[in-house]
Structure 1
């Protein structure tokens, strides 16, 4: 089994079907949450360390526990990490307003402020997460539960789903993105007999490798949404359309590793004649993504013939890579390491990465 890991990936997964005081959702919701956690934590797919994945399922997903999970995510992630939050359950919109809430398992309709998580609270909790790569997945407003939620007399002041204003508020700040399962006027569909909701099924396919359309060895945020946004309307006869929100997202940042699964057709090809300086910049950009802990990650530097004791230690993997590549360009690095031996080793791990292939072309 391939044990390659993405150690800087952290996730909080919440799935709620058996609500205590409001209409329940089908058990597919729980399968969605568990399957997302399993794919993220699989060394054959996304490579997250399972120890970095917190699951809150049904009774465990109280208001207090979810808020504590968000605080824990903020405490254990740094700027160079990727933070992933997945929620499958009821989302509620207070009628006549644009205020939305995540409904936790202990939600009581008569006490929303004390038994659910408001958009303001959620936004404040997200602000505390310092990871420069934060992705939120919301699979709410399920068709199997939406009608019951809207018609229940005890909560007749609520509608299902999240307002556009709420979703936009959740992604304020750089490096933050959100994918919601459907437009506010739609429901998140579950096909009869299916193991997953349509949105999460497409998301899982993407994370298993189908969204890695360039076969780079990483799943990137824009590519993942492009895949999901194409698949969901196709599978629902154009009845459901995922939406994407990001306010200051300039980079197509990595969400996870891509270690398997069917690949979507590549839409671009490698061009010959790239400037050498551009290729070096590309290498300096891609290595911190593939080996986020630095040159010692997966012993890549040693496998390339280098001596890690020669390298300077830095607080982030990206800074360590910049320092190591600068040393390598000056003929240092220890042992027999060279730019050629390094790229050869990296290409063994990521044989289809176009930046690395292009770099080799320009240097040989």
Structure 2
């Protein structure tokens, strides 16, 4: 392992008029002691305490100390102190910040006349510069990121780590992430933050020693975690401990995408395999899993819905769902209770969702086709945990009018020798190209395909039409112009055609080859009072799903969020399909909620008949959540504190069709 370069900044002593803290220096000293003991390689800490931690001093230390980290090294930035937010100054920033505000760390000299805070854009740029040299970069921020509140003492000895903005604070010296382009946004560092965008972070005495509530919980989770615990594992356990102290403080992990930085071992290491996107944890209301109705889990009938712990080498343990909420499910262990101090990865091993009905047909009636059909029925009937039926698939011999989602598997001879399985939709159209069916391994691949299509269909049909949030966020899709989406002469939004789709066509280019259409996609919160959290899914006709366009962000009342942070969205036909007359379809699915949701279940790779399969239903037990790896963004904070239960949610789907016209 490489060297761990760590910069610890703790500030208790703030100049007037800011009120000081008591636990920030304790935080960084305790963190350094623990991390130095668990680091796998050499540990090089540097401390900036109280008056040493000026804005320029922190910036210099970020550049010089963390900047010494290279490939195979880890760079860690830990800040405990005051946080703040304030109105964005530059017009461009007011447009690109969906909340219209900067978020910032308050350094030792920030409150003094002429001082400045360390704004998130500058901090993120500094951390990404270190990451660009090949180092693994992580940041832990234990401070408030909410505005509209004064720094006051709370009940039970809790003190908020928030400082109101100074009148002279201006624009940050560095504007990160504000240029256009065609590249995909990627997160270069992993962030563990003490609270959501609009929440205070607190400190109090623990056994007579003051600490930040988040730091105390995070260090306890690290002590209880195993050597390979990931950022996601540790943050989930810390989240529950913080919630026990303060129901209105929710720690945050960014980027949340599975198999990305969040799933690396704490302080660095290699992501090993695909992680289960859901975690079991013990919170103030008992055991819960971070999967709810918005992820497709049924809230009407939970009987039979179970999650299974999936830790390598551990004997299987099951938790049974009792109540399903919008963003989580309350569960109870069956048998031995897991360790309450840790978060445990789980897979959905049984569920009460209406399964996909699978009808297997043998039109030619041959003995070979009937035998292959019988083999496929046996694989599906034994694909679940313990050799039981797959929870997401139900065999039916009934008519095509069977209720719910229906997939037809037609077994027939293929050209040459052998058999093939055509996977058809209810209307007889092919869902995917035909698959070989000449043995049990082929039958397992067909079952994998049916499971993959079922997961995609669950996302495609996800809806909550009775929600009071319906139609509060408008999705506008415009042709991209060189002047950007805010040009005074920008074109009108694109409208659906008679089929209900927005059709985008390739056009001519200076190279003589067809030019894919470029779009600007924006999300406008039309509410006058509600700040809403939005994520934009892209469902593709290759049966993939990702959140790369808008990975999840709060949008203030009357504010607008931009897909790809104002970069053009390029629609393209895959190279192997690109020819005159070719077309592809996408469905943009907007999910709007009152609070942040776990986005890991919204990720699904394209169906690949030659790939490793969908964590095979016939191998490890099915997992009804969906996954892919989109890019992520850092935390953005906003406005006054509000209740944080995600509660209400709604969706909207916009169909897109991209065409290469004949003759181009």
Normalised by the length of structure 1, the TM-score is 0.57
The match for 2:659 is none
Q: 1:219-238 maps to which residues of 2 (within 5 A)?
A: 219-236=229-246, 238=247
* 1-structure distance, mates of 2:23, 2:66: 29
Does 2:69 correspond to 1:55? no
Which whole-Å CA distance do the structure 2 matches of 1:61 and 1:46 have between them? Answer: 25
Aligned position for 2:110: 107
The aligned residue for residue 36 of structure 1 is 31
1:32 CA displacement:
0.6
> Is it true that 1:202 corresponds to 2:217 in the alignment?
yes
Query: What is the alpha-carbon distance in structure 1 between the residues aligned to residue 61 and residue 240 of structure 2?
Result: 32
Partner residue in 1 for 2:259: 250
Q: Is the 8 A contact 2:4 2:76 kept in 1?
A: yes
CA contact (8 A) 1:33 1:87 kept: yes
User: Between Structure 1 and Structure 2, how many residues are aligned?
Assistant: 239
Matches within 5 A, 1:280-291: none
**Would you say the 8 A contact 1:70–1:126 is kept in 2?**
yes
Give 1:280's aligned residue: none
Does the C-alpha gap of structure 1 residues 22 and 119 become closer, same or farther in structure 2, counting only changes over 3 Å? farther
Among 15, 30, 35, the residue aligned to 2:10: 15
Secondary structure of 1:199 counterpart = helix
- Kept in 2, the 8 Å contact 1:101–1:116? The answer is yes
Aligned to 2:228: 218
CA–CA distance in structure 1, aligned partners of residues 211 and 162 of structure 2: 20
Q: Which residue of 1 aligns with 2:193?
A: 180
Say if 2:142 is the partner of 1:139. Answer: yes
Distance 1:94 1:100 in 2: 7
The structure showing larger relative contact order (alpha-carbon pairs under 8 Å, at least 6 residues apart) is 1
- Superposition pairs for residues 321-360 of structure 1, below 5 Å? none
Residue 219 of structure 2 aligns to a residue whose secondary structure is: helix
Runs of 5+ unmatched residues, structure 2: 89-99, 145-150, 154-158, 170-174, 179-184, 270-280, 283-308, 316-664
Gaps of 5+ in 1: 1-5, 159-165, 259-263, 273-364
| Separation (CA, whole Å) in 2 of partners of 1:128 and 1:224 | 26
The equivalent residue for 1:314 is: none
Contact 2:54/2:108 (8 A) holds in 1:
yes
Query: 1:272-283 residue pairs with structure 2 within 5 A?
Result: none
Structure 1 distance, partners of 2:177, 2:203, is 26
CA distance in 2 between counterparts of 1:271 and 1:48 reads 28
Given the superposition, is the C-alpha separation of residues 34 and 242 from structure 1 closer, same or farther in structure 2, using an over 3 Å criterion? same
Greater fraction of residues in helix:
1
Work out whether 1:191 is the aligned partner of 2:238: no
**Aligned equivalents of 1:235, 1:211: Cα separation in 2:** 20
Shift in alpha-carbon separation, 1:190–1:67, aligned structure 2, 3 A? same
The question of whether the paired residues in 1 share the 8 Å contact of 2:161 and 2:200 is answered with no
Give the TM-score taking structure 2 as reference length. Answer: 0.32
SS in 2 for 1:126: helix
* CA spacing shift, 1:28–1:138, aligned 2, 3 Å: same
Q: CA deviation at 1:26?
A: 2.0
Whether the aligned pair in 2 keeps the contact of 1:221 and 1:255 (CA below 8 Å) is yes
Task: Provide the alpha-carbon RMSD of the alignment.
Answer: 3.5
Structure showing greater radius of gyration is: 2
Q: CA offset at residue 24 of structure 1?
A: 3.3
**Cα separation, partners in 2 of 1:143 and 1:80, compared to 1, 3 Å:** farther
Cα distance in structure 1, aligned partners of 2:176 and 2:244: 24
